[in-house]
């Protein structure tokens, strides 16, 4: 029986459960003996000129080794904006003349012992001459974050002048809405950190929690003006990332710089306060949607105008709206659709990738648009989806935005989710509660989505990833992968793939990743790429290894390779029909290293899809929402290990629901962040979420031999709009049309009240 598709328990778990993972802060390594500890002085103001820094008191404090400012790191380059954005918007390694957000690193204090750091930080005196904060999706150019740029608009994706004036001609129903996809914090449980040491040979070794050591190495080398060969990155256990640990941040560069400058190892670990202002945030888009169609529910036209608040420096914010635009029309067949995106800079923490990165935003806008259209036309939102979803296809489908959907059966996904939810019964229950005027009203929300996964290149062109498989003389196997697990369970999953080909049990297969000396190339883990590229590479390498072994065994047995049979249960080759003429893999490995490196390259990205149904209760008196049920179809092709795939879905669903209901990074009008701890930033606990009802659905892709697509982000893409739609739905009969996320009790109450006042004034 094949091990593929079975619920193999994670081989990673025992150490996590007993001694705990070894995260960067846990590292004990003789290379790091005598390390100094780096602490960052961060700007307490949103936008200001720095008129002076006095470090004398800090330098005199116990244990302080050094204090460095921008002047000290002047040899380091500035970081250009990503995407086709204004090149004057450069990010310095430490703030030079200006600070542009609360949390921007201004100076570093280096101490002997960790407990001395916070004491010394308080003693660094920085003089700030405050400037007006630059905030919102339409910041005026009266105050410029970057004077040289001449504007706070970083750039555009698409040309607003090309939006068609007649797009909605012939539509009987047209609805417009401005929708905020709020700023959220990735908030992995492990915040950022680093440890760095330089060898006598001038080579840097850096331990950094990341999502792909090779990308982090490239970033470090570039920002430290080094050749890539001068940098080794080692990935410790990583306590969650969600898109925000890709590459290298300036803090990582500074830690490495300090280690070189002081000639001793240096370490840094971020507090949660720092993490919530210093790590990139996610989302932060404004969507102006217009949707039009016929009164009986045909959607004929859709326009999406995006504004991306990139924060103070254009990091992933420069290209996230490109992904949003790519997925504008989602799973629907919309005859006329267009979108455009503007990127602005504001005096806030820079925006980066966050679970879904650009695609959840597209999905959230579109799914609200579909519901707004259905409400305006007086139609059931399920019917509108049925009517407009693309029909099932097995040949790739090209959208108007250039996306090439590989395989999909969106209507079946919708129907399965509705059936599992008991949609008809839920609507009946809702009607009954409405008729009774219950305090607790029921809301049912749908979201049908398609998303894009499996981009990213480790080497060459086309989505690809490498794997090296080696069988050892002792009967164990080792896999080297260019992916970078941090909770996804690659050690188990990759071992399953190799075991399937080699017959070596999962427990005897070790996975290694994240050491750039061992694995120089790799695309890391993000964008839901790992299994479909990295996993496919493991399969390919394992198969090639068996073929290589077959050749060697054939030579040994003086038989034709074609006459050899590989017996997985014995991990041994024998001549067909002659079990005695056998050569075990271990014997071949003993004679000569049995090792194959393979690169799997796919023809393109894959497009998982699904439908989520959220059921909520809203207390119409207080506005308090309760998420009662989440029923989801998330079809990411063939499932390798249901245990792991379900875990990915659960996590995504939870995070997406949290964005819909509670999470938001909030700034006041002066640009001061108000959500700088987990007491204020409403990270959800188990109490706010229900158990999830997952519906199985597996439509294979033809883009890789495993038939798999990515499942890491799908949960968050579907659940966010489903929950938001459910909450609006719960109070729709009171006249509420839209509530922005997070749909807090206050917002719901205000929406109910505003709708009531509106209808009263209509009646008056």
Partner 1 sequence: MIPAKFDYVAAESAGHAIELLAEHGDDAKVLAGGHSLLPMMKLRLATPELLIDIGGLDELAGVSVDGPDLVVGATTRHADLAASELARAEAPLLAYAASQVGDPQIRHRGTIGGSLSHADPAADLPMALVALGGTVVVEGQAGTRTVGADDFFLGYFETVLAPDELVTAVRVPRRPGVPWGYQKFVRRANDWAIVGVAALDGRIALANMGPTPLRAAAAENALAAGASAADAAELAADGTSPGEDLHADREYRRHLARILTRRALEHETA
Partner 2 sequence: MTQIELTVNGEKRSDEVEPRLLLVHYLRELLGLRAANVGCDTTSCGACTVLLDGKSVKSCTVLAVQASGHEVTTAEGLAVGGELHPVQAAFRQQHGLQCGFCTPGMVMATVGLLAENPHPTEAEVREGLEGNLCRCTGYHNIVRAVLAAAQAQAGQVTGEQVTA
* Tokens of residue 295, six digits: 């009164």
Query: CA torsion sign, 169 to 175 to 177 to 181?
Result: negative
Quick one: what does residue 675 bind among partner 1, partner 2, none, with the CB cut-off 5 to 8 Å set by partner type?
A: partner 1
Looking at the Cβ atoms of 377 and 657, the one nearer to partner 2 is 657
User: Least Å distance between CB 189 and partner 1?
Assistant: 16
Neighbouring residues of 200: CB distance < 8 A, sequence distance ≥ 6: none
Task: Work out whether 743 is an interface residue with partner 1 (CB under 8 A).
Answer: no
Is omega for the bond preceding 514 within 30 degrees of 0, making it cis?
no
**Contact window for partner 1 (CB under 8 A) among 225-233, 576-584, 591-599, 672-680:** 672-680
Q: What part of residues 91-120 is at the interface with partner 1 (CB under 8 A)?
A: 115, 118-119
- Contact yes or no for 124/55 (Cβ under 8 A): yes
CB 744 to partner 1: min, Å: 7
Answer with the entry of partner 2, partner 1, none that 23 interacts with (C-beta below 5 to 8 A by kind).
partner 2
626 forms part of the interface with partner 2 (CB under 8 A) = no
Strand locations in 451-534, DSSP E? 464-471, 477-481, 509-513
* Interface with partner 2, residue 28, by CB under 8 A: yes
Give the footprint of partner 1 on residues 527-566 (CB under 8 A): none
Cβ count near 199 (within 10 Å): 11
Determine contact, residues 312/350, Cβ cutoff 8 Å. yes
Applying CB under 8 A, among 90, 151, 271, 510 the residue interacting with partner 1 is 271
Residue 108 or 238 with smaller CB distance to partner 2: 238
Binds partner 2 by CB under 8 A, chosen from 644, 711, 723, 752: 644
Whichever of 31 and 272 has its CB closer to partner 1, that residue is 272
Tokens 């700030």 identify what position? 128
Choosing among partner 2, partner 1, none, which partner's interface includes residue 644 (Cβ < 5 to 8 Å by kind)?
partner 2
- Strand spans (E) along 546-671: 564-567, 572-575, 578-584, 594-601, 609-619, 625-635
Q: What is the DSSP string of 695-709?
A: E------SSSTT-B-
Spatial distance between the Cα atoms of 237 and 244, rounded to a whole number of angstroms: 15
With CA atoms as reference, report the closest residue to 527 among 353, 281, 654, 310: 353
Stretch that binds partner 1, among 49-57, 600-608, 693-701, 739-747 (CB under 8 A): 739-747
**What backbone phi and psi angles, to 5 degrees, belong to 128?**
-115, 135
The partner in contact with residue 682, picked from partner 1, partner 2, none with C-beta cut-offs of 5 to 8 angstroms by kind, is partner 1
The percent of the chain in helix, strand and coil, each rounded to the nearest 5, is 30, 25, 40
Q: Within 177-196, which residues bind partner 2 (CB under 8 A)?
A: 187-191
Q: Which of 3, 4, 21, 517 binds partner 2 (CB under 8 A)?
A: 21
CA–CA separation, 15 and 18 (whole Å): 5
How large is the angle between the packed helices 714-730 and 642-661, nearest 10 degrees?
Answer: 40
Q: Which of the residues 586 through 645 are near partner 1 (CB under 8 A)?
A: 621-622, 624
Task: Return the closest-CA partner of residue 328 out of 351, 294, 361, 356.
Answer: 361
Task: Name which of 13 and 129 has its Cβ closer to partner 2.
Answer: 13
- Residue 687 within binding range of partner 1, rule CB under 8 A: yes
Is the separation of the CB atoms in 628 and 690 below 8 Å?
A: yes
Angle at 166 between CA 162 and CA 171, to 5 degrees: 135
Smallest distance from the beta carbon of 23 to partner 1, in angstroms? Answer: 18
Stretch touching partner 2 by CB under 8 A, among 257-265, 361-369, 571-579, 686-694: 686-694
Q: Which of 346, 484, 655, 720 binds partner 2 (CB under 8 A)?
A: 655
**Residue 147 three-state SS:** helix
Question: Which residues between 273 and 302 bind partner 1 (CB under 8 A)?
Answer: 273
Q: Which helix (H) or strand (E) holds 405?
A: strand 404-405
Task: Give the residue, chosen from 64, 73, 144, 237, that forms a contact with partner 2 under the rule CB under 8 A.
Answer: 237
Other Cβ atoms within 10 Å of 440 Cβ, number: 13
Helix (H, G, I), strand (E, B) or coil at 755: helix
Which residues are CB-neighbours of 441 under 8 A, at least 6 positions away? 430, 433, 434, 617, 618, 620, 730, 731, 733
Q: Does residue number 57 form part of the binding site for partner 1 (CB under 8 A)? A: no
Binding mask 221-260 for partner 1 (x = CB under 8 A): ----------------------------------------
Minimum CB separation from partner 2 for residue 708, in Å? 18
Tokens of 464: 């690809």
Rounded to whole angstroms, the Cα distance separating 167 from 292 reads 9
The reply to whether 684 sits near partner 1 by the rule CB under 8 A is: yes
Element (H, E) at 42: strand 36-42
Site size for partner 2 (CB under 8 A)? 55
Q: Which of 4, 26, 261, 597 binds partner 2 (CB under 8 A)?
A: 26
Residue 479's DSSP bridge partners are 469, 511
Residue 9 binds which one of partner 1, partner 2, none, with CB within 5 to 8 A depending on kind? partner 2
Does 12 bind partner 2 (CB under 8 A)? Our answer is: yes
367 vs 722: CA distance, rounded Å? 8
From residue 103 to residue 132, what is the string marking binding to partner 2 with x (rule CB under 8 A)? ------------x-----------------
List 112, 683, 733, 735, residue binding partner 2 (CB under 8 A): 683
When the beta carbons of 239 and 608 are compared against partner 2, the nearer one is 239
Q: Which does 571 bind (CB under 5 to 8 A by kind): partner 1, partner 2, none?
A: none
Report the residue number, 376 or 688, with the smaller CB distance to partner 1. 688
Which of 676/719 has CB closer to partner 1? 676
Distance of CA 614 to the CA centre of its chain: 22
Residue 26 or 688: which CB sits closer to partner 1?
A: 688
Contact 350, 102 (CB under 8 A): no
- Least distance in Å: CB of 740 to partner 1? 15
Give the C-alpha separation, 127 to 189, whole Å.
34
Look up residue 563 and give its two tokens: 């006459």
Q: What angle do CA 205, 211, 212 make, to 5 degrees?
A: 55
Q: Which stretches of the chain bind partner 2, using CB under 8 A?
A: 9-10, 12-14, 16-23, 25-26, 28, 115, 187-191, 237-240, 242, 271-273, 486-489, 643-644, 646-647, 650-655, 677-679, 683, 685-687, 689, 691-692, 715
Residues that bind partner 1 (CB under 8 A): 115, 118-119, 122, 271, 273, 621-622, 624, 662, 666, 674-675, 679-680, 682, 684-685, 687-688, 744-746, 749-750
């Amino acid at each position: 029986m094949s091990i593929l598709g079975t619920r193999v328990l994670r081989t990673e778990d025992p150490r996590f459960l007993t001694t705990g993972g070894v995260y960067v802060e846990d590292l004990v390594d003789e290379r790091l003996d005598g390390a100094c500890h780096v602490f960052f002085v961060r700007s307490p103001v949103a936008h200001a000129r720095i008129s002076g820094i006095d470090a004398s008191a800090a330098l005199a404090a116990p244990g302080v080794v050094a204090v460095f400012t921008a002047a000290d790191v002047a040899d380091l380059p500035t970081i250009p904006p990503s995407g086709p954005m204004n090149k004057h918007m450069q990010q310095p390694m430490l703030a030079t003349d200006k600070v542009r957000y609360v949390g921007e690193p201004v100076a570093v204090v280096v101490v002997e012992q960790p407990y001395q750091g916070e004491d010394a930080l308080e003693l660094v005196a920085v003089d700030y001459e405050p400037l007006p904060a630059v905030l919102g999706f339409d910041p005026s150019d009266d105050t410029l974050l970057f004077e040289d740029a001449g504007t706070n608009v970083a750039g555009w994706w698409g040309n607003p002048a090309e939006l068609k004036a007649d797009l909605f001609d012939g539509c009987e129903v047209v609805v417009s809405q401005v929708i905020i996809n709020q700023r959220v914090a990735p908030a992995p449980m492990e915040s950022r950190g680093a440890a760095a040491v330089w060898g006598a040979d001038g080579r840097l070794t850096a331990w950094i929690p990341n999502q792909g050591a090779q990308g982090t190495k490239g970033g470090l080398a570039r920002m430290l003006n080094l050749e890539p060969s001068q940098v080794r990155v080692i990935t410790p256990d990583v306590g969650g990332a969600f898109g925000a640990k890709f590459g290298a941040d300036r803090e990582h560069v500074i830690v490495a710089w300090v280690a070189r400058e002081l000639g001793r190892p240096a370490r840094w670990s971020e507090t949660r306060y720092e993490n919530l202002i210093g790590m990139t945030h996610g989302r932060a888009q404004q969507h102006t949607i217009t949707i039009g169609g016929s009164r009986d529910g045909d959607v004929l036209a859709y326009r999406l105008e995006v504004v991306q608040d990139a924060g103070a420096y254009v990091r992933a914010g420069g290209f996230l709206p490109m992904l949003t635009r790519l997925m504008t029309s989602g799973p629907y067949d919309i005859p006329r659709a267009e979108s455009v995106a503007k990127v602005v800079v504001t005096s806030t923490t820079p925006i980066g990738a966050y679970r879904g990165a650009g695609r959840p935003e597209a999905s959230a806008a579109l799914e609200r648009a579909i519901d707004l259209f259905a409400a305006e036309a007086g139609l059931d939102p399920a019917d509108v989806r049925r009517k407009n979803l693309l029909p099932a296809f097995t040949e790739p489908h090209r959208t108007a935005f250039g996306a090439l959907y590989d395989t999909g059966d969106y209507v079946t996904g919708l129907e399965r989710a509705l059936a599992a939810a008991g949609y008809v019964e839920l609507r009946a229950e809702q009607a009954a509660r409405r008729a009774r005027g219950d305090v607790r009203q029921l809301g049912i929300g749908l979201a049908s989505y398609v998303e894009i996964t499996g981009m990213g290149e480790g080497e060459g062109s086309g989505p690809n990833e490498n794997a090296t498989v080696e069988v050892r003389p002792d009967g164990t196997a080792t896999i080297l992968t260019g992916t970078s697990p941090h909770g996804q369970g690659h050690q188990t999953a990759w071992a399953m793939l190799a075991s399937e080909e080699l017959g070596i049990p999962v427990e005897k297969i070790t996975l290694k990743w994240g050491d750039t000396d061992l694995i120089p190339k790799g695309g890391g883990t993000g964008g839901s790429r790992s299994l479909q590229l990295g996993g496919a590479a493991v399969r390919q390498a394992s198969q090639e290894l068996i073929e290589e072994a077959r050749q060697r065994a054939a030579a040994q047995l003086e038989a034709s390779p074609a006459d050899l049979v590989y017996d997985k249960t014995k991990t041994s080759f024998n001549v067909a029909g002659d079990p005695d003429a056998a050569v075990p893999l271990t014997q071949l490995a003993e004679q000569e290293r049995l090792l194959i490196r393979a690169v799997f390259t796919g023809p393109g990205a894959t497009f998982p899809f699904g439908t989520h149904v959220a059921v909520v209760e809203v207390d119409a008196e207080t506005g308090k929402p309760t998420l009662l049920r989440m029923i989801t179809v998330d079809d990411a092709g063939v499932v390798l290990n249901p245990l792991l795939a379900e875990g990915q879905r659960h996590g995504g669903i939870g995070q997406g629901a949290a964005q819909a209901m509670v999470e938001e990074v909030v700034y006041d009008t002066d640009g001061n962040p108000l959500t700088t701890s987990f007491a204020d930033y409403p990270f959800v606990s188990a109490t706010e979420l229900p158990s999830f009802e997952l519906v199985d659905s597996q439509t294979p892709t033809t883009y890789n031999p495993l038939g798999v697509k990515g499942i890491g982000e799908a949960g968050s893409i579907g659940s966010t709009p489903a929950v938001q739609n459910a909450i609006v739905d719960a109070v729709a009969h009171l006249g509420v049309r839209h509530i922005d996320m997070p749909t807090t009790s206050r917002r719901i109450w205000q929406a109910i009240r505003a709708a009531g006042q509106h209808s009263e004034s209509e009646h008056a």
